[in-house]
Amino acid sequence: MRLFVALAPPPTALDELDAVVTPLRAGQPALRWTSRDAWHITLAFLGEVNEPAAARLGPRLERATARHHQFSLAFAGAGAFPSAARARVFWGGLSGDDRAVASLAASVAAAARRAGAPPPDDGRPFRPHLTLARCRVPADTRALVATLSGYRGPAWTTDRVHLIHSRPSGQPRYAMLDSWPLARR
Ligand code: 2AM
């Protein structure tokens, strides 16, 4: 099964971002906009994971998560991969404890490797983001990025890490399988 590990921002932060993004969706109908219900911040995409490796993942992820402390995040600004002028992915950015989120993502990837489920894009620099839209052909998202550049959402405390199943079909597309707490400050 196709798995990934992610953070789930709280409803208040998602609702506020959704209210800001909704008017943008109508202006750019050619983009494939993601819906608020599916929004998450990926720490590590694991791709296809076989049953034995999936069974080993839980304890590994639990231990890795427990070694990190809770930290603060907020939605802030926007960007695009690979560039705003020729975007394949238009995303919302994050601000807060950048080092903590990067170090948690590295530990999650290491735990997945030890469980026998190495991230297929291991080694790529980690850039925390929330995908707002995907583009079949490269799109000019410079105006969208500029519109959101000053956006700062409410800060929240990240306190859990989630293991999510990306389902090939059916609703919901993403099913939460398990989650583990970060250490309290
Ligand atoms: P994205 O938001 O940047 O598209 C589920 O597919 C999640 O895993 C998405 O958040 C997606 O990131 C992320 N992901 C990272 N690498 C991926 C890959 N090679 N294929 C599919 N999803 C990937």
Give 106's DSSP letter.
H
Q: What residue owns the CA closest to ligand 1's atom 3?
A: 131
Q: How far is the CA of 155 from the centre of ligand 1 (A)?
A: 24
Output 93-99 pairs: Cβ under 8 A, ≥24 positions apart. 93/128, 93/129, 94/41, 94/128, 94/129, 94/130, 95/152, 96/71, 96/72, 96/155, 97/71, 97/72, 97/73, 98/128
- Is the CB of 34 inside a 6 Å radius of any atom of ligand 1? no
Is the N-terminal amide bond of 82 cis, ω within 30° of 0?
yes
Predicted confidence pLDDT, tens digits, the chain (185 residues): 999 999 999 999 999 999 999 999 999 888 999 999 999 999 999 999 999 999 999 999 999 999 999 999 999 999 999 999 999 999 999 999 999 999 999 999 999 999 999 999 988 899 999 999 999 999 999 999 999 999 999 999 999 999 999 998 878 899 999 999 999 98
pTM of the model: 0.96
- Give the architecture-level CATH label for domain 2-181: Alpha-Beta Complex (3.90)
- Is the CB of 4 inside a 6 Å radius of any atom of ligand 1? yes
